[in-house]
Structure 1
């Protein structure tokens, strides 16, 4: 028996159940451990009672696991749909899982010089000026730090829907339907009813749970992408709030190992694509908001299949965040898009294809005079982009949306044809306004684009003239003259 009275806490790490529980509780509460333990005592909860009631007193590892899971849920920071702290930690861990060596000065110099050369070559094929801003060489961890806020924002609309669905499903699974003393243990095996306190809010816990799980998903996807991307524009969406270009030398070198082209050529070709993307996102002022707005509009319309989610969660421990993460990867999004989503998805896929096609065409034209392997490198990047990687598949599962430009080849053909018929100025002028963007019909039939555009312009001219006549009539200035009573002309 313990030599301490049952209402006294011991600080040793002996074999007695109360000592083991106190040690674990202190590790949970950190600097506030003394205050937290006093609060537990005031509620009639002491380590000996917890240990006896849990049934885990003979298994310290199991006790530690249960309490650690509870701690992670209670410690979830913020009230947003994505737990950004969890996302950050997971992303950093995944990014370095296969190694993330610090960049050497030579690697930094080679990357930034390649970006500088790319700007000079692009000047010869497009009138869109350089993006400006800094040129970076980043490690995988640095890429995570810089782009993670954008991924959190992209996933937030869907994460909010998932959090609501989780709250509904898990509340139904809790003892007493989420009410009563049993629910205050959150259904955790071995944790006595009411052990988390009378002020414990299961609904708030479930929202934090959903936020933490989605943070894990975002972190996993972002960390995996950091091992695949070459810069900040590979996905076709603007991920930085300010103009900048970047290369990841570690990933560029890994990609070049399997190719016949030398590393220097590969680096320059990828730098051309990065710089071309940056020019487009920087100087086509409406494009960033257009793309992100379409992603958000589609994501907000996604529905969660509650039956599928409940089936996924029926046999798992709700405190096991890894199991919850796997459950959410099992396909819980509604199977049918709404008509509005279908229209938004078509616009988004077309816009992504046009961005990718323009970059593909412009970077290839800039590379041809300088890089002997420009053609095979272009084809390699096309196939890689069309197939997508594990990270894009994770993101697709995460938000129910594939960010792959399915028709980038058709778009590149269209851009090339516009340049042949009207020059590079005509090609780049299409980006002057979103209403000028080619449609899916233009991707189907690039050769008929110019005639269709001429018809649209003619109709617009007629409409402008009709509107001008209407406004002139409303102002009383038709151009005709009438006589005043004294016979003088009146306009």
Structure 2
């Protein structure tokens, strides 16, 4: 059967719901808001030079815009990105599977029902993200780095840290992500291919798979309300899917671990209060509310944070063995990415990649 030409989620509804449900941002008058935006842009520019000098990675000139956004703008950008990656994947599944629920009409009804749920999740996340590189942004957007100004202000006030130092510290981490994808332009397609492998290995028909996908989303929303439900791991059905998920997790561990290492290595040189910022930020991360803990367990974020720490250990291990130039071979091709088992064994990656 041909792929249905309808979206699997009503993204317009999702955006409208998310904008309406997003928490109120911190209070700023017009002049304060303009000053925050200006300083974040300046910090992003300074971070580019610091990351380039430390890593030796040179992103192509003009590669990727840096945008300072509010929560509604972040919501719209992420809805576009989710649509760009999720709709083709679910429609790909529908084209390969058969079942009464795989019809365009059934998928359209499902989109209307799930738009509000997707909006609830976007609203929740819109108040938590400090910055992000748009890995799966629509092609027309190109690679963009988003800095969410109200969230940066909210956290720096909560931590009671120096605003200028905190803003540069955040930008060091996010700029590292921008550079990673700029020097390895194949990386985005590699991640998308792993998601396609995951979908192709799905053992359900399209209707059942779509129901499972959005049952998990409903579980996320219920957890936000304080009633934990199913876990996202229930979407993993087969050995092929687990292998694809392990490869994606290894890449994400590498990316986050590398960004943390760069931030921690550069920070003491250019951020005077970095020790205070790191200590208070880490304490905040560990003292999550019961509601946040439920969501983190549901989404597998507890395991993900552990894997990110392992990613930093991997990066440190490789740097100790072969230095920065040797580590940067990781950005050459999919074959030089760490395999899942190598994240915990950097010496194995060094032996495999540098043996040649």
So what's the TM-score if we normalise by structure 1? 0.56
User: Could you say if the C-alpha distance between residues 274 and 382 of structure 1 is closer, same or farther in structure 2, counting changes exceeding 3 Å?
Assistant: farther
> Deviations along 1:27-59, whole A, 9 cap, x unmatched?
xxxxxxxxxxxxxxxxxxxxxxxxxxxxxxxxx
Q: Does 1:128 align with 2:57?
A: yes
Taking the TM superposition and a 5 Å limit, the aligned residue runs for 1:75-86 are 79-86=6-13
Following TM superposition, by how much is the alpha carbon of 1:245 offset from its aligned partner in structure 2, in angstroms? 2.5
**Alpha-carbon RMSD:** 4.2
| Matching residue of 1:226 | 126
**Candidates 407, 411, 429, aligned match of 2:329:** 429
User: Could you say if the C-alpha distance between residues 424 and 98 of structure 1 is closer, same or farther in structure 2, counting changes exceeding 3 Å?
Assistant: same
CA distance in 1, matches of 2:20, 2:303: 24
Aligned partner of residue 337 in structure 1, secondary structure: coil
Structure 1: which 5+ residue stretches go unaligned?
1-77, 170-202, 314-321, 458-491
Aligned 8 A contact 1:91 1:220 in 2: yes
Aligned partner of residue 444 in structure 1, secondary structure: coil
| Matching residue of 1:281 | 181
**Candidates 61, 67, 86, aligned match of 1:155:** 86
| Matching residue of 1:91 | 18
Following TM superposition, by how much is the alpha carbon of 1:337 offset from its aligned partner in structure 2, in angstroms? 1.8
Following TM superposition, by how much is the alpha carbon of 1:87 offset from its aligned partner in structure 2, in angstroms? 1.7
| Matching residue of 1:193 | none
> Which protein has the larger Cα radius of gyration, Structure 1 or Structure 2?
1
Aligned 8 A contact 2:101 2:107 in 1: no
| Matching residue of 1:338 | 238
Aligned 8 A contact 2:229 2:298 in 1: no
Aligned 8 A contact 2:52 2:58 in 1: yes
Following TM superposition, by how much is the alpha carbon of 1:278 offset from its aligned partner in structure 2, in angstroms? 0.6
**Candidates 166, 180, 194, aligned match of 1:294:** 194
User: Could you say if the C-alpha distance between residues 415 and 118 of structure 1 is closer, same or farther in structure 2, counting changes exceeding 3 Å?
Assistant: same
> Deviations along 1:157-189, whole A, 9 cap, x unmatched?
358879x999659xxxxxxxxxxxxxxxxxxxx
| Matching residue of 1:445 | 345
> Deviations along 1:179-212, whole A, 9 cap, x unmatched?
xxxxxxxxxxxxxxxxxxxxxxxx7664332111
Aligned length: 327
CA distance in 1, matches of 2:91, 2:117: 10
Following TM superposition, by how much is the alpha carbon of 1:115 offset from its aligned partner in structure 2, in angstroms? 0.6
Following TM superposition, by how much is the alpha carbon of 1:82 offset from its aligned partner in structure 2, in angstroms? 1.5
CA distance in 2, matches of 1:404, 1:383: 17
> Deviations along 1:76-134, whole A, 9 cap, x unmatched?
xx822121221221122223x42477862212111101111111211220122246343
Following TM superposition, by how much is the alpha carbon of 1:259 offset from its aligned partner in structure 2, in angstroms? 1.9
- Structure with the bigger RCO (C-alpha within 8 Å, sep 6+) is 2
CA distance in 2, matches of 1:265, 1:117: 12
Structure 2: which 5+ residue stretches go unaligned?
none
| Matching residue of 1:471 | none
User: Could you say if the C-alpha distance between residues 330 and 109 of structure 1 is closer, same or farther in structure 2, counting changes exceeding 3 Å?
Assistant: same
So what's the TM-score if we normalise by structure 2? 0.75
Following TM superposition, by how much is the alpha carbon of 1:298 offset from its aligned partner in structure 2, in angstroms? 2.2
CA distance in 1, matches of 2:260, 2:173: 7
Following TM superposition, by how much is the alpha carbon of 1:440 offset from its aligned partner in structure 2, in angstroms? 2.8
User: Could you say if the C-alpha distance between residues 391 and 80 of structure 1 is closer, same or farther in structure 2, counting changes exceeding 3 Å?
Assistant: farther
**Candidates 10, 15, 34, aligned match of 1:105:** 34
